[in-house]
Amino acid sequence: MPRNPLLRAPAAVSPVPPERYARFGWLRNPFPDVPYVIVGAEDPRSNGSIYADSVHQAEQQRFEELLVPTPDRPASRMAFLMDAAVGRGRGIGKTAFLNRQRSRIMSDLGWFVTRQTYLLFAAHILPPAGTNNRKFWQFARLLITSFNKQEVIAQLLWRLRAFSGLIPDAVLDEAEEVSSTVGDNDWLAEHHVPVEHELIPAIKERLTTAGVEPILAEGLATYGHSPEQFWTGFLRHITDYRWRQMAGTWLTNDLVSAFRLGGFYRGLVFVDDFEKIVNGQNTVERRTFADDIRYSFVEGPTRGAQTGFYSLLWVIHPYLQEILGHHWNAAGLDRCCAVTGDRSATCRIDFNPISAANAEGLVAEYIAHARQPNFQAADRLSPLTPAAVTEAFRITRQLPGHLLIWLNRVVEKAIDEQWPDFAPARLTQFAQAQPPALPDETPEVQPLAAPEADLREGGA
């Protein structure tokens, strides 16, 4: 036992003993303990990797129609995703859906969805709350840093390296996991590829010839192959002053040239929680922002607008339609993608609440991921039953996010109290003690309670 407290290391045991869930044949509580999708989280229950495609099949189809180009169908430059449920935006599964679409496209760069025609990338933008994204340059910076974090830029560099002609085919054949091979300078050096002296200058040269500004071209060529290095070696050193000048043109000119050089046909950008950007803006900023979107992506003299490179999917809150519509239309964006009025239906994905049958599928998917191998389960839901899922679904008012986290608490309770089964009546009883944290639906005006003192004659 080392005496020095600096040498104490935390135990590497999982915090919950797996035997706790053995009764049901599970390795862990199958359901997430947080009510939202955390992109990139370690826990598979909450990072969106467990996903039942059947649940939002209709939305997925609509998404492909609108935004994914195929040989016989062009795609729009912009679309909206809006929840069709009334006033229950949270926990309906939008983020999980977008995260799924992103990983689906990024797994093969859109090769499958475009029917082996085009290369696409997808980025899922999650703006932080607050007022740091009010200006277009800040929005552009957010996009660029997200491209980096989500390995979009790294994918581009890996492709440029592979097609540079400086890595012998024999070496390329050895590279299976790209990020740790072509994307790793040490690995390449081990395989006798002259990274510093030939590969990087050659890529920089190609980027500059394609029209990328030299400083950015150098940054991309030197560090772009690794998100960490591009951040620490390049992006981190760019001052706000420089971003203000360059972010917009980098996004819509230089990067577009670079992406096209890498063979990308389109970039899909999903702007989640768009209200976080708009709510922080004042009227003038909203108008300017809409104008900037039009200039940068639709019809300005930018490479992005000329080639229609970016396809944007704005995830909007119902209320946003009202506050944004005015400025959107004033900037003329309604002709491209209407946010209000009848025409908005043509460029909108309506996000519907899931059905009871889909809820079963979703619950089954989570249970399947937690099953002990070799455990013989009676059916895909066991030990839960369809009646129990229906009851839980009713209690959580058809909101999948809330359904899952509430089931997490139900499972813990069932184990603590040794429930023999998950009968719907037990769930109802549990819901009274620990109701799900649903969005409030308080009436507009609550009547005043009668006063307790009556001052009138004969009153109490």
Partner 1 sequence: LTERLWPMPRQRAIGSFSDLTLYVDALECARDSDGITAVLLRSALAPRLRSSRRVKDQALSTLRSVLAELEAFGWLSRRDAVPEPRFSLTTDGKTALQTADERSFLRLLATQLHAAYTIPGWFVARLWTINPQTGEVIVPAPAHGWSATGSARAEAKWGPELQDETTAARRRAQQANPGAFPVSDDAWLDAVGQAWLHVLTRKRRKLTPGEDAFPWSRSGLALAMRMAALHLLFAATPYGQAAPDIEVGRPLSVKTFKPWCPRLQSLELVAYTDWHPSVVGRLLFPTAVFRNEDGAPFEELPTIRHPDGRPLFLHQPSWQSLRERFWSTLATVYQGIARVTGLRYVSLFDVRDEVCRRLRISPTLFDRYLGRALEEPQPESGWQLSLETDVREDVRSGGQLERRPISVAGIRYTIIALARRPTAPGRTT
Percentage helix, strand, coil, to 5, in the chain? 50, 5, 40
**165 makes contact with partner 1 (CB under 8 A):** no
* Number of residues forming the site for partner 1 (CB under 8 A): 16
**442 makes contact with partner 1 (CB under 8 A):** yes
Binding range to partner 1, per CB under 8 A, among 169-177, 368-376, 392-400, 452-460: 452-460
Q: Which residues pair with 348 in a beta bridge?
A: 80
**457 makes contact with partner 1 (CB under 8 A):** yes
Region at 116 (left for phi over 0; alpha for psi -120 to 50; beta for the rest): left
Pick 72 or 444: Cβ nearer partner 1: 444
**452 makes contact with partner 1 (CB under 8 A):** yes
Q: Report CA torsion sign: 455, 458, 459, 460.
A: positive
Cis peptide bond N-terminal to 400, omega within 30: no
The closest of 182, 261, 164, 178 to 216, measured between CA atoms, is 261
**453 makes contact with partner 1 (CB under 8 A):** yes
Least Å from the CB of residue 100 to partner 1: 32
**3 makes contact with partner 1 (CB under 8 A):** no
CA distance 162 to 156: 10
CA distance 88 to 383: 30
Q: Which residues pair with 266 in a beta bridge?
A: 120
**378 makes contact with partner 1 (CB under 8 A):** no
- The residues, any chain, with a CB within 8 Å of residue 9's CB and separated by 6 or more, are none
Pick 165 or 447: Cβ nearer partner 1: 447
Pick 17 or 451: Cβ nearer partner 1: 451
**446 makes contact with partner 1 (CB under 8 A):** yes
Binding range to partner 1, per CB under 8 A, among 237-245, 276-284, 295-303, 449-457: 449-457
Task: Give the containing element (helix H, strand E) for 93.
Answer: none
Pick 87 or 458: Cβ nearer partner 1: 458
* Other C-beta atoms lying within 10 Å of the C-beta of residue 217: 23
Binding range to partner 1, per CB under 8 A, among 83-91, 116-124, 125-133, 439-447: 439-447
Pick 11 or 460: Cβ nearer partner 1: 460
**441 makes contact with partner 1 (CB under 8 A):** no
* Other C-beta atoms lying within 10 Å of the C-beta of residue 192: 9
DSSP, collapsed to helix, strand or coil, labels residue 238 as coil
Least Å from the CB of residue 178 to partner 1: 48
**72 makes contact with partner 1 (CB under 8 A):** no
Binding range to partner 1, per CB under 8 A, among 38-46, 88-96, 296-304, 450-458: 450-458
Pick 252 or 281: Cβ nearer partner 1: 281
**432 makes contact with partner 1 (CB under 8 A):** no
* Other C-beta atoms lying within 10 Å of the C-beta of residue 228: 11
Q: How far lies 158's CA from each of 40, 165, 179, 222, 286, in Å?
A: 21, 12, 8, 12, 38
Residue 58: both structure tokens together: 């209709």
**448 makes contact with partner 1 (CB under 8 A):** yes
Pick 11 or 453: Cβ nearer partner 1: 453
Least Å from the CB of residue 300 to partner 1: 28
**455 makes contact with partner 1 (CB under 8 A):** yes
**71 makes contact with partner 1 (CB under 8 A):** no
Pick 7 or 450: Cβ nearer partner 1: 450
**447 makes contact with partner 1 (CB under 8 A):** yes
**451 makes contact with partner 1 (CB under 8 A):** yes
Q: Tell me, residue by residue from 387 to 426, as one string, x for binding to partner 1 by CB under 8 A and - for no binding.
A: ----------------------------------------
Least Å from the CB of residue 440 to partner 1: 9
User: Applying CB under 8 A, which of residues 1, 86, 345, 445 lies at the interface with partner 1?
Assistant: 445
Give per-residue burial for 7-36: e unless 16+ CB within 10 Å, then b.
eeeeeeeeeeeeebbeebbbbbbbbbeebe
End-to-end alpha carbon distance in the chain: 75
The closest of 268, 275, 270, 295 to 136, measured between CA atoms, is 295
**450 makes contact with partner 1 (CB under 8 A):** yes
Pick 12 or 449: Cβ nearer partner 1: 449
Are 289 and 60 contacting, i.e. CB atoms less than 8 angstroms apart?
no
Q: In Å, how far from its chain's centre is CA 20?
A: 32
Pick 342 or 440: Cβ nearer partner 1: 440
| Binding site residues, partner 1, CB under 8 A | 442, 444-458
